[in-house]
């Protein structure tokens, strides 16, 4: 008879868009191993909770954040990834609007911060690998689902949407074609409110119409930005 002593954990890669750059939410660990190292928020799943409940609890406990968008990413179970025990981590990928959250460290974390993904500290465990896979998922998904709107403010300039796509996809886009295509989907509302963009004339703000998107999706609409 084979006996196992495997623990199940959850980890969360939570992205936020602030200061016109993509950020990830990290905690500074307050316990060994990797004490005082930066890591993704997460922890062991309790006996009486689901994976989803566990990742939501860990996020709330360690960062005071409730993700606006959360989905399962990948499973990591390589022996030795945690020096204490054999641990299999079910990872999640989330999106939030940083301005909606007051981050605060607690439980196993003594600090929490948003880090620009291009200016990351050394991460504990195999969290650099987890983060790389999450970035690839985000870039891929951005081209076929309008998840970018989960990162923008509720009201935004169209130039903010363009900058978001260029930042996450890490490439230039044809701004004229991008604008034409996005507006053709009929999922944005152009508002009468205006904001000044530097020296140019004030530009109208936009808002994502989620109800319209889901209605169109039920009718067979495909969001495609490739």
d(CA 39, CA 11): 9
CATH hierarchy code of domain 6-133: 3.90.79.10
User: In the numeric block, which tokens belong to residue 16?
Assistant: 């936020």
User: In the numeric block, which tokens belong to residue 175?
Assistant: 């701004």
Q: What is the pLDDT of residues 44-82, one digit of tens each?
A: 999 999 999 999 999 999 999 999 789 999 999 999 999
**pTM of the full predicted structure?**
0.93
Q: Provide the phi-psi class of 214: left if phi over 0, else alpha when psi is between -120 and 50, else beta.
A: alpha
pLDDT for position 58: 96
Q: What is the domain partition of the chain in residue ranges?
A: 6-133, 147-218
pLDDT grade for 3, boundaries at 50, 70 and 90: confident
d(CA 96, CA 222): 24
pLDDT grade for 190, boundaries at 50, 70 and 90: very high
Q: What is the mean pLDDT of residues 207-217?
A: 93
Q: What is the pLDDT of residues 9-40, one digit of tens each?
A: 999 999 999 999 999 999 999 999 999 999 99
Give the strands of the sheet with 203-208, arranged side by side. Answer: 156-157, 203-208, 188-195
CATH hierarchy code of domain 147-218: 1.10.10.10
């Amino acid at each position: 008879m084979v006996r196992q002593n495997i623990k199940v954990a959850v980890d969360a890669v939570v992205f936020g868009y602030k200061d016109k750059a993509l950020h990830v939410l990290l905690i500074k660990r307050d316990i060994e191993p990797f004490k005082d190292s930066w890591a993704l928020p997460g922890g062991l799943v309790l006996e009486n909770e689901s994976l989803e409940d566990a990742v939501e609890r860990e996020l709330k406990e360690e960062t005071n954040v409730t993700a606006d968008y959360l989905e399962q990413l990948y499973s990591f179970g390589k022996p030795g990834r945690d020096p204490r025990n054999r641990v299999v981590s079910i990872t999640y990928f989330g999106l939030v609007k940083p301005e909606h959250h007051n981050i605060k460290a607690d439980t196993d974390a003594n600090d929490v911060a948003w880090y620009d993904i291009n200016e990351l500290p050394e991460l504990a465990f195999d969290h650099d690998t987890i983060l790389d896979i999450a970035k690839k998922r985000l870039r891929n998904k951005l081209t076929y689902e309008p998840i970018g709107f989960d990162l923008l403010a509720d009201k935004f300039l169209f130039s903010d949407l363009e900058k978001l796509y260029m930042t996450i996809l890490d490439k230039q886009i044809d701004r004229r074609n991008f604008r034409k295509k996005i507006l053709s989907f009929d999922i944005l509302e152009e508002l009468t409110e205006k904001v000044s963009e530097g020296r140019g004339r004030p530009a109208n703000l936009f808002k994502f119409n989620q109800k319209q998107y889901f209605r169109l999706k039920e009718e067979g609409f495909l969001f495609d930005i490739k």
